Structures are given as structure tokens and as C-alpha cells.
Amino acid sequence: MKQQVHGGDVYRHPNAIDFSSNINPLGTPASVIDAATKSLKQIAHYPDILYSELRKSLSKYEGVLENMIICGNGAAELIFSLVFALKPKRALIPIPTFAEYEQALTASGCEISHYKMEPDFNLDIGILEAITPDYDVLFLCTPNNPTGFLIEPEFLQKIIKRCKTCGVFLVIDECFLDFIPEPKAYTMIGALAENKRLFILKAFTKRYAMAGIRLGYGLCSDQAFLGRMNQVTQPWNVSIPAQAAGVAALKETAYVEKARQLIQKENTFLKQALKKLPLHIYDSQANYIFLEGPADLYEQCLTRGILIRNCSNYPGLRQGFYRIAVRTHEENKSLIRVLQQIFIKEE
């Protein structure tokens, strides 16, 4: 497995504009910061181990029963908890995709098979034949990270049915679904009730720009399995500030809609500008754009104060693939100016 390197390394590059991390460009809502700050008065106490208020708010927000919800110290912790609770022997992962799935599976001693999404990085119908009873778990990400491609609902329903037939536990990562025009048309939450071996992964991280406070959640109708996940997770894993911030964030519906509209507008702006440069631009639908360019593009951008995501450490990718977050219009213009300088210099 390739080295675990992530975006958002502002600590090593504090003066760069961060296009490497796919965070809501509007920044953290003031109400969320205020709620987390006020909650610090309670830190002499242990956090609510059942995160009752947060679970109640999530139940209302997602339209599911409270006993179908599990929260964690970011979505990444839930991936590890899920794997250690499931104890799979063989797993199937389409690549390229989010590295934590493979990291957690490798840590548990699971054998991993890759389904290569080639040549255009879209998940094709061949995945249905690839899913067999030999596998214990399949991880899918929609929109996929780092490509930004969506899995169409009708196709995803076929995958769910195939997994159910073969007895394969299916994990669908919907962490970036909030930024597409119609997320409700693509979510598989409605399939949870009839599919106990389906788990949907979500997070506050990107939606509310809350990466530093670490808060994710999962949805599953198998309460016994959620119980096993809790057993392999450290107690009090969701802090008091994280719980308070989560409750406040779920009230920010206008903020989420404003961000969604901004991202769709700026996604179009960036693609149009990027296509004028000697880059290969993919039709990413999320709040980031996947592209192929020169092998040293990361370094050239960094020397000019722009931090982009080098995707060469993703399984299935090589040097020259990058991911760029969709940010505010002024920040996006700064990115385009830097890229224009780079390619004009090369000419």
C-alpha cells in the first residue's frame, strides 16, 4: 500500500492557499464555533457516551431512527471500527479511491482485491460480476474521492442487490454527497431498512468545515452490528465540543444550501478556465476537480503559494494526477493565475 499522505497540510505550508483539502469554502459557521466554545465550560465532565442530543438531531436531519446512528471521531475512526467489528477475510475495493478503507483493512489482516476503474475512472457494470460470495465487504465512495464521479442511483441499487445476494457487506461513503445539486436523489439511506448489511458513512468534516474537531457518523439498520462497532471503539470518543458543534451545525440548512450553490457555480468556472490550459480535466461532480498534468505541477504551484493535492499515492494512480478543491471565486481566480503563469513560463 502506498504511503498515507493527505491534503490539508497547512502546518507545513501555512502561507499557501489550501486547495488540497475539500472543505466547505464558506468556512465554519459562527454558530458552530460559538457552540463548541461554550461547551468548554463542561469539560470537567466526561462526554455523553451515548451522545443523546446529537443522535436526536441526526435522526431528525437524516430521517432515520436514533438506534440506526453511530458517531465517531471523524469518519476515519468509523471505518476502522467497522472493519474491526466485521472482521472480514477478503475485501473488494474499486481504485482509485479514499485510502483509509485499505489502511483499515490492512491493519485488520484482511486480504484486499482491487477493481481497477479504467480507463476513465468511472465504475462500470463489470463490478457486478466482480462481486462474488468470496468477498466479505465492498467499499464504495460516491462522489468518489479523488475523481469526483457519482454512481448513478439505478446502478447503485443493482450493486446493493448483488451484494445482498452474495452476502457481501456494503459500505457506501456519502461524505461528499452534500455538495452536488440534488443529494437526496443519490443517497441510499432509503435502502437501509431492508438491507442490514448496508452501512452509509457520513461526516461533518466537509459539509460544515469542521475537520479539526473530528466528527463523523454512520447509518445502519443492524443494531447488533452497531453494538459490535461500539465494543471495538474507545469509550467517550466523541468529545463535548464535537457533540455541541454537531448539534449546532445541523441547524445550518441555509448555510449548506448557499455552499452548494457556490460550489456548483465555481465548479463550472474552474473547469472552463482549466480546460484552456494543457491539462486533462475530468468531469468531477463534487466540490473538487480531478485532473492530469505535469509531474512537477504540485511543486510548481507550491512555490507560488498554492497547495494542491498530489494524488500519486492513491492506489491505481501515478505521478501527474491531482485534485483541486473548489473554493471562493477570488481564491479560484488566484489558482488560475498561478497555473497560467506556470504554463506561460513553460512555453
Whose CA is closest to 279, among 332, 221, 340, 220? 340
Distance in angstroms (rounded) separating the CA atoms of residues 266 and 92: 34
Mean pLDDT, rounded, of the chain: 95
Q: In the structure grid, which three cell numbers stand for residue 216, read together? A: 463523523
pLDDT average, residue stretch 177-194: 96
Per-residue pLDDT reduced to its tens digit, 212-225: 999 999 999 999 99
Q: What is the DSSP string of 253-316?
A: HHHHHHHHHHHHHHHHHHHHHHTTSS-EE----SSEEEEE--TTHHHHHHTTTEE-EE-TTSTT
Cα–Cα distance list, 292 to 117, 124, 257, 277, 310 (Å): 16, 21, 30, 11, 10
pLDDT of residue 346: 52
pLDDT average, residue stretch 79-91: 98
Query: Can you tell me which residue has the cell 461533518?
Result: 204
Angle made by CA atoms 312, 313, 318, in degrees to the nearest 5: 35
For residue 7, pLDDT over 90 is answered with no
CA atoms within 13 A on the CB side of 14: 1
Per-residue pLDDT reduced to its tens digit, 130-146: 999 999 999 999 999 99
pLDDT average, residue stretch 71-94: 98
The CATH 3.40.640.10 portion of the chain extends over 30-249
Q: Which residue has the higher pLDDT, 93 or 3?
A: 93
User: Whole-model pTM?
Assistant: 0.95
> With the CA atoms of 199, 77, 87 and 50 taken in that order, what torsion angle do they form, in degrees rounded to the nearest 10?
-70
Q: Are 131 and 163 in contact (CB under 8 A)?
A: yes
Residue 88, phi then psi, degrees to nearest 5: -70, 150
pLDDT average, residue stretch 47-57: 97
- The CATH code of the domain at 30-249 is 3.40.640.10
Superfamily of domain 17-27+253-346: Aspartate Aminotransferase, domain 1 (3.90.1150.10)
pLDDT band at 1 (very low <50, low <70, confident <90, very high): very low
pLDDT of residue 14: 86
The CATH 3.90.1150.10 portion of the chain extends over 17-27+253-346
Distance in angstroms (rounded) separating the CA atoms of residues 20 and 321: 13
Per-residue pLDDT reduced to its tens digit, 227-249: 999 999 999 999 999 999 999 99
Whose CA is closest to 305, among 11, 15, 12, 7? 15
For residue 341, pLDDT over 90 is answered with yes
pLDDT average, residue stretch 162-180: 97
pLDDT band at 2 (very low <50, low <70, confident <90, very high): very low
